[in-house]
Amino acid sequence: MMVKYNKLYLLIIVALLSISAYKAQIIPGRNPIDQQPEIFIIDDSGARETLFVDGTGFGTGSAFGLLPITFLTIALLMIPMAMMPMMSTVTSETTPCVPTNCPATYRLLTDQTASPNCYFDSGDSKQTWSDALKTCTSTPGAYLWRPNTEAEANAVKNTFGFANDIDIWTGANSPTHDGNYVFAVDNGAFSFTSVPFGERASSITNLDCVEIELTDSNNWNWDDDECNDEYRFICEFPRKVCTKTPGAYLWRPNDITEADAVRSTFGFGTDVDIWIGAHSPFHDGNFVYAVDNGALSLTNLPFGCLFDISEEDCVEIEVNSSNVWEWDDEGCNDNIRNICELPRTVQERTILNDYN
């Protein structure tokens, strides 16, 4: 039975290859054994092209024209059986990645293992719960803090340096005024009988808004309070990262041979800004790659030259009019082209997607 299924799937694959815009092309420039082989995948107006950096070139499209028409007709009848999983695969592979960055006035935690998100601290500015929510949501995508773990809460406290016994609004509230609490924005449930960490206050009086504080005994304490009370608050902004394809990350250019092959593969011209994965999470001019926190120094580049340093937090790369790779720091909210990279762990190869 397994043999029959194998033959069936082979039949479907052959038929699909014969009618699709798929082709394999080997890009000149690297030894297939001695150099790191990579595979690059691009999407262009619905067509799909797979490119191997191995040494020379070949195409697969024309060979399937020789297959008998009867054979292809039978195979085409079986295509719907395989369409759904294949469509799902293409979707996951071609979801765009975006740069990692924080909005103005937001910052990353000093311990990013606790949470990769961006946070804003109101400091000495205290507001009612509803005003705090409005302040947070005035930054598109942000919301009033949703503390998920004790490690995250500790990292928030350490990052912003507030003292113990400071009431801090969270996004939890009871919109129906009946003691049933949800977090604003996503309506995720919150229950005082099963707090995410720490402990509940000794007396819960079914007030409509929830605050959290670190007690003198260094225990996180959740409490319900009047929504019109004015407290300090934390806003949270989910940081978008290049992980919609599991294991993928924003491009890390390692050498000029790789960069030239990427450019040749995707065909972009000169003076085209391209995001890479390097950024300065602490806004201090010290850059690391998002994927592994590996350091990047703009004064000691892997290849190419530096355009200038303007004290921005994200890094892009481009080929200038002299055909020299040029590195530059840019504002993280700029919308520019980006390249995503996916290690092929089985054969130690790499998949890259280009998003115009």
Q: Give the whole-angstrom CA distance, residue 291 versus residue 269.
A: 27
Does residue 37 or residue 272 have the better pLDDT? 272
Confidence of residue 54 (pLDDT cuts 50, 70, 90): very low
Residue labelled with tokens 């609490």: 181
Are residues 250 and 341 in contact, defined by beta-carbon separation less than 8 angstroms?
A: yes
pLDDT value at residue 233: 98
Q: What is the tens place of the pLDDT at every residue in 148-201?
A: 999 999 999 999 999 999 999 999 999 999 999 999 977 888 999 999 999 998
pLDDT value at residue 347: 42
What sign has the CA pseudo-torsion 139, 140, 145, 150? negative
Q: How far is CA 345 from CA 55, 76, 101, 258, in A?
A: 21, 33, 27, 18
Are residues 270 and 296 in contact, defined by beta-carbon separation less than 8 angstroms?
A: no
Q: Is 310 exposed, middle or buried (0-12, 13-18, 19+ CB in 10 A)?
A: exposed
pLDDT value at residue 251: 93
The chain-wide mean pLDDT, for the chain, equals 76
Closest CA to 120 of 171, 160, 161, 162: 160
Does the domain formed by 249-355 have CATH 1.10.10?
no
Q: Which residues in the chain are classed under CATH 3.10.100.10?
A: 107-237
Q: What is the tens place of the pLDDT at every residue in 209-233?
A: 999 999 999 999 999 999 999 999 9
Q: What is the tens place of the pLDDT at every residue in 291-341?
A: 777 899 998 999 999 988 888 889 999 999 999 999 999 888 777 888 989
Neighbours of 323 (CB within 10 A): 9
pLDDT value at residue 247: 79
Q: Give the whole-angstrom CA distance, residue 129 versus residue 138.
A: 14
214: its two tokens: 């670190």
pLDDT value at residue 248: 83
Q: What is the dihedral of CA 153, 155, 161, 167, to 10 degrees?
A: 0
Rounded to 5 degrees, φ, ψ at 54 are: -135, -30
Closest CA to 132 of 174, 188, 176, 184: 184
N-term to C-term CA, the chain: 45
Closest CA to 92 of 239, 240, 247: 247
- Which span out of 15-19, 102-106, 244-248, 278-282 was modeled with the highest average pLDDT? 102-106
Longest Cα–Cα distance of the chain, Å, equals 80
pLDDT value at residue 23: 37
User: What's domain 107-237's superfamily in CATH?
Assistant: Mannose-Binding Protein A, subunit A (3.10.100.10)
Confidence of residue 37 (pLDDT cuts 50, 70, 90): very low
Q: Give the whole-angstrom CA distance, residue 39 versus residue 53.
A: 6
